[in-house]
């Protein structure tokens, strides 16, 4: 145990939800800080708080960087305090309760003794980057692929774009253990963390059936992602704008009759995202609404092939 520091700022609920899955640009710091968001007063549902734990006193630049993550706190004074002789990683994770979604159980090391019998369980340590399945979009994606499995869907080629901790790729592999799965993220740190989580959860890395291949890439801009297409299941838990921008590329990479699970979008953005994919021959098959977030499942329509009648001699 050693001294550590905590930076506290007020934030809105929407800002807190976004930060649960994305701590950029703080992820570029070494060591990476731990972010925690919490509700201040149940009677004021939009008033939340951001606590950021550092291993050393944050610089003025780091404080300014953190303030930019929560624009609503532009006029608030940051509170920076030293925490004496505390295991700050353990403290920061104490409130991260395990997540149960369908047959999945996602937990931090502090809850290793709580894994229920028969669950598909993954240990995801939040000490380096926040993303244990707590965020509604990640948990919603787990719920969606669990529904696909319950419906008897079978997939052989799967891509997880914007994988983060690797959790959704791990979940897909558990449901379809013979599938070939590739997962990507634009952030090299995320891929490093996904590799560590794969080792913790005994996920074999590689390009063969039942294995997971990890690559650093923005969208589908990687030779391995292009080479392994088309996919019959594509998962992308990113943000609404890149989902819309990537619609043509995602559509091209998805097999006819294939499925797509899209997340990272607020509920009021769902129609715009669905519309972008409708123009690419996708139909909206299902949606899950979680608080202010929406998870979409889309199906790629098959082309109607008309056969010309044989000419008479």
Residue ranges of the annotated binding site for S-adenosyl-L-methionine are: 138, 162, 185, 237
3-state helix/strand/coil string of 65-131: HHHHHCHHHCCCCCEEEEEEEECHHHHHHCCCCCEEECCEEEECHHHHHHCCCCCEEEECCCCCCCC
Tell me how far apart the alpha carbons of residues 241 and 44 are, in angstroms, rounded to a whole number. Answer: 29
> Which residue's structure tokens are 């509700």?
39
Residue 163, burial from CB neighbour count under 10 angstroms (0-12, 13-18, 19+): buried
Cβ density class 95-117: b for 16+ within 10 Å, e for less: ebebbbbbbbbbbbeeeeeeeee
Short-list 97, 90, 8, CA closest to 49: 8
What 8-state DSSP symbol labels residue 152? T
Residues marked as binding?
138, 162, 185, 237
Q: Which strands sit side by side in the sheet containing 180-185, from one edge to the other?
A: 212-216, 180-185, 157-161, 231-237, 254-266, 293-300, 282-290
**Three-class SS state of 149:** helix
């Amino acid at each position: 145990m050693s001294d550590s520091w905590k930076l506290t700022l007020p934030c809105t609920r929407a800002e807190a939800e976004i930060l649960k899955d994305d701590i950029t640009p703080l992820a570029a710091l070494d060591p990476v800080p731990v972010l925690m968001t919490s509700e201040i007063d149940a009677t004021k549902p939009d008033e939340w708080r951001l606590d950021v734990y550092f291993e050393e006193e944050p610089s003025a630049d780091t404080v300014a960087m953190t303030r930019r993550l929560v624009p609503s706190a532009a006029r608030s004074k940051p509170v920076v305090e030293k925490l004496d002789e505390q295991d700050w990683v353990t403290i920061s994770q104490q409130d991260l309760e395990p997540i149960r979604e369908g047959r999945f159980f996602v937990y931090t090391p502090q809850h290793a003794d709580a894994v229920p019998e028969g669950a598909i369980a993954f240990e995801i340590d939040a000490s380096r980057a926040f993303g244990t399945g707590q965020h509604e979009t990640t948990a919603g994606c787990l719920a969606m692929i669990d529904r696909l499995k319950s419906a008897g869907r079978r997939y052989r080629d799967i891509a997880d774009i914007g994988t983060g901790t690797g959790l959704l790729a791990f979940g897909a592999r558990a449901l379809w253990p013979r599938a070939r799965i590739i997962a990507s993220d634009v952030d090299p740190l995320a891929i490093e963390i996904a590799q560590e989580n794969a080792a913790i959860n005994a996920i074999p890395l590689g390009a063969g059936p039942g294995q997971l291949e990890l690559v650093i890439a923005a969208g589908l801009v990687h030779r391995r992602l292009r080479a392994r297409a088309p996919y019959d299941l594509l998962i992308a838990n990113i943000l609404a704008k890149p989902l819309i921008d990537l619609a043509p590329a995602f559509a091209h990479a998805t097999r006819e009759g294939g499925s797509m699970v899209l997340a990272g979008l607020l509920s009021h953005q769902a129609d715009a995202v669905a519309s972008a994919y409708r123009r690419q021959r996708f139909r909206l098959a299902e949606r899950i609404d979680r608080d202010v977030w929406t998870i979409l499942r889309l199906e790629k329509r098959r082309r109607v092939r008309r056969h010309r009648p044989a000419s008479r001699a």
